[in-house]
Amino acid sequence: MKELAKPYISDHFAPVTDEITAHELTVRGSLPPELNGRYFRNGHNPKPGVTPSHWFRGEGMLHGVRLAGGRAEWYRNRWVRTPYLDGVPFTGTELDVSAAATNIIFHGGRYLALQEANLPWEVTGELETVGVHDFGGKLTSAMTAHPKEDPVTGELHFFSYSPFPPYLTHLVADATGEIVRSQVVDGAGPSLMHDFAITREHAVFINSPVVFDHAEHSGIPYRWHDDVPFRIAVMPRTGPAKAAWFEIDDQAAILHVTNSYVDQHGRVVLEGPRFDRAAWETSWKWWVGAPGYGSSFDAGSTLHRWILDPATGKATDEALDDLTTEFPTINDAHTASANRYSYAIAFPGAGLSGYHTAKFDTTTGERQLFSHGEGRLPGEAVFVPAAGGTREDDGYLLTIVSDLRADASQLLVLDAADLTGAPVATVELPRRVPAGIHGHWIEDHK
């Protein structure tokens, strides 16, 4: 029997085979004039003839669209030219041998392509590779693909985690990109930790039941263990400081965080999509291409809230919505402070047919959905503020959509305040862009 193609290199995720550049892209509708900058997105794109052992082993490829003055000036895609792209295997010891395929950020004047088991790789504003970046020799361990930039101070908070001690280290770079603080987080264990959060006062870390297990042979050496508790740590952002760990009664895992903040009662609130064991293991099967992952790309996680009270040491949690969602985003101006709105990809199921972009109002519990139609998969929704906006949701959502039926892709600009209408603008891209992972909007003045 012919073996089926792995899901992470099939359909929406089928890789492209070359690098192209196209200028003066077709725009339907009107691009808001304040959109002057670059939308960059990262993702795994194995080279022709290469089938990686799991999704996260695919070589990193960046896709970018430059918008200015109501025009879509260019699209380009480039592999991140690391030793891994040249065929050097990742052993876990060579920090520069990175797929560099998970995220791309801009901080301290540098564009950095990130993957959590490695050092960052710097690229240019035209997506050409510059080289490995170790913060002037101050970063000697891996860097998370989900750093958090404080919108008030400009600091970049990030972490390094490992299956071996020290399991977790919190690092801070100032607004210029200089590492100014590094601290081992006491009490952490060998959990798989993809993301974390900050509040105005704290760093918030997650230890889930998904922990290092040398018996796991899928290529990702972590496995769910029911005897390992789900714990969340709250640690003052200024060091040295001790972390307070909250054990959660509910066994769960978190892959991506929506946001965290301190409420009016002094409690730390953490929100994000929650996986139970069944949802996690189904997703895991998709990531590694094992039987039983289902017929389409899905997550199984649902929006949840955890409330941690430092005064009492108690933790409570509650479901916020029953839609299957992942890849949460917010208006980044509200990172570390209270937010009302969040956005995510909503997957088929729970009454939905096809993929949607979802908006959640955690004050009222209401939601809005934008349907992308059959055969169309959106990426995460990146929020860009509108000029002169005064409300949290005054802005736009940018997302690249993969259209299997048309073998094409578009960059959609949606009205973040009202997802019930048509797109504000649609940029026709010169090729189908494979579904990817994370990206950012980077304004020109940066």
Q: Which residues define the annotated binding site for Fe cation?
A: 146, 194, 256, 438
Distance CA 172, CA 354 (A): 40
Query: How far is the C-alpha of 279 from the C-alpha of 281, rounded, in Å?
Result: 6
Q: How far apart are CA 370 and CA 377, in angstroms?
A: 12
Q: What SS3 string covers the chain?
A: CCCCCCHHHCHHHCCCCCCCEEEEECEEECCCCCCCEEEEEEEECCCCCCCCCCHHHCCEEEEEEEEECCEEEEEEEEECCCCCCCCCCCCCCCCCCCCCCCEEEEECCEEEEECCCCCCEEECCCCCEEEECCCCCCCCCCCCCCCEECCCCCCEEEEEECCCCCCEEEEEECCCCCEEEEEECCCCCCECCCCCEECCCEEEEEECCEEECCCCCCCCCEEECCCCCEEEEEEECCCCCCCEEEEECCCCECCCCCEEEECCCCCEEEEEEEECHHHHHHHHHHHHCCCCCCCCCCCCCEEEEEEEECCCCEEEEEEEEEEEEEEEECCHHHCCCCCCEEEEEECCECCECCCEEEEEECCCCCEEEEECCCCEEECCCEEEECCCCCCCCCEEEEEEEEECCCCEEEEEEEECCCCCCCCCEEEECCCCCCCCCCEEEEECCC
Residue 248 burial (CB count, 10 A):
18
Token match 């096809």: residue?
354
Residues 291 and 240: their CA atoms lie apart, in Å, by 47
Annotated binding residues, written as ranges, equal 146, 194, 256, 438
- 428: which strand partners? 410
Tokens, residue 106: 């801009």
Cis, bond preceding 190 (omega within 30 deg of 0):
no
- The Cα–Cα gap between 52 and 116 comes to 17
